Chains A and B, each alone.
Chain A
Amino acid sequence: MARQASAAFQIAFGTPFVVLGGICLAGAIFGDGGALNVVGGSLLLLLGVGAAGAGVGQLMARGAFSQLTLEPLGRSFPLGGVARVRLVLEPKKPMDVNGASIVFKTIEKAVYSAGTDSRTYTDTLHEWTEAIALPSRLVGRIDHVIEIPIPRRLPPTFAGRHNSFISSCEVHVDLANWPDLDLNRELVIAAEYA
């Protein structure tokens, strides 16, 4: 759901740039616009196409699947234990896969705000990446459970108003002849040792 919202945002962000860029270029070509209009229009157009294109790509890749989920198998996971997440992929038609990977990441984030001054500080405390063994051709439903080791030294999940420790996992699937697919979910790390 978050990814779909992100794709929609990318499209919404990119579209006005495409329109503005188009107007500038049209003005330069059909009117008496100068080189500045051509350069400015082209830059706006490129920016818009890039942003909106990424969003459209995500939606296209998602649209090729009848089922697509990444869900944690538990409400929370202990430190020093293993988090299990289930990846379900069911393409509408057989699809070739070039590769897939999962990244588990814990970040520390602090937001300072006073009046109009606002600053955000972020530090990655842990990052773990592993390849996911998917068949090279996806046919039918693929139900895959992935185990993620959680180090003992990590802080448990904390979401304050200005400060947080957030853990999440992101699955990246490189689809042949399709835009790549990204799925991510937040994982709750409990204040508990395994």
Chain B
Amino acid sequence: MQVPFEIELPGLVAAGSELEGRVLFLEDAPGLEKVRAVKIVCDARVHGSGSEETIALGPLAIHGPFSAPAKVPFQFVIPRKGPTSYEGRYVKITWRVTVTLDIPWAIDPKQTVEFQVVPRPAKSSGVRQVS
């Protein structure tokens, strides 16, 4: 079953702050009324040369019914200690949001969007800067 939807996310989020996004149903596609819930998982995928691991936030489940046009907001708090996004030689950290539409008696449509987690700016001043 094809139910078109989009995930709207900011490209960059600081560690320790809120990630706010939305799931958009723009067209009134047949089948949208059958969507029982929108399930959202935010996770950091730690991959590369080592065994893969994930740090998951959520999942969130937002229950329907939905009708187009609809904007389903969601939010996650990114941990203060991160991890932050990184592309190393052996270790890579990729943050992503995966949205799954729960439709009874159908293959659940799924989409994943990546975003970056960066270190937050310090609140306290007076710390010596290093160039």
User: Contact residues of A with B, CB < 8 Å?
Assistant: 78-82, 108-114, 119, 121-123, 125, 149-152, 155-158, 160-165, 190-194
Residues in B neighbouring A121, C-beta threshold 8 A: 49-50, 89-90
| A162 close to B121 (CB less than 8 A) | no
Residues in B neighbouring A165, C-beta threshold 8 A: 83, 86, 88, 91
B 73-102 to A, binary, CB cutoff 8 A, 1 in contact else 0? 000000011111010111101000000000
Residues in B neighbouring A80, C-beta threshold 8 A: 129-130
- 5 additional contacts, CB 8 Å, given A121-B49, A163-B53? A78-B122, A114-B51, A121-B50, A155-B86, A191-B117
| B81 close to A151 (CB less than 8 A) | no
Q: A155 to B89, alpha carbons, bound, how many Å?
A: 12
Q: A151 to B128, alpha carbons, bound, how many Å?
A: 12
Q: A160 to B50, alpha carbons, bound, how many Å?
A: 11
Residues in A neighbouring B84, C-beta threshold 8 A: 155-156, 191
| Interface of B, helix, strand, loop or mixed by DSSP | loop
Residues in A neighbouring B52, C-beta threshold 8 A: 162
**Smallest distance from the beta carbon of B27 to chain A beta carbons, Å?**
39
| Interface of A, helix, strand, loop or mixed by DSSP | strand
| A160 close to B49 (CB less than 8 A) | no
User: Contact residues of B with A, CB < 8 Å?
Assistant: 15-16, 46, 48-53, 55, 80-84, 86, 88-91, 93, 117, 119-122, 127-130
Residues in B neighbouring A158, C-beta threshold 8 A: 46, 81-83, 93
Q: A108 to B129, alpha carbons, bound, how many Å?
A: 24
**Smallest distance from the beta carbon of A111 to chain B beta carbons, Å?**
5
| A156 close to B130 (CB less than 8 A) | no
| A192 close to B129 (CB less than 8 A) | no
| B119 close to A82 (CB less than 8 A) | no
A81-B130, A121-B90 known; A191+B120 contact, CB < 8 A: yes
Q: A164 to B86, alpha carbons, bound, how many Å?
A: 12
Q: A158 to B84, alpha carbons, bound, how many Å?
A: 9
Residues in A neighbouring B55, C-beta threshold 8 A: 160
Q: A80 to B122, alpha carbons, bound, how many Å?
A: 10
Residues in B neighbouring A152, C-beta threshold 8 A: 130
A109-B90, A194-B130 known; A163+B80 contact, CB < 8 A: no
Residues in B neighbouring A156, C-beta threshold 8 A: 15, 81-84, 119
A81-B127, A156-B84 known; A111+B51 contact, CB < 8 A: yes
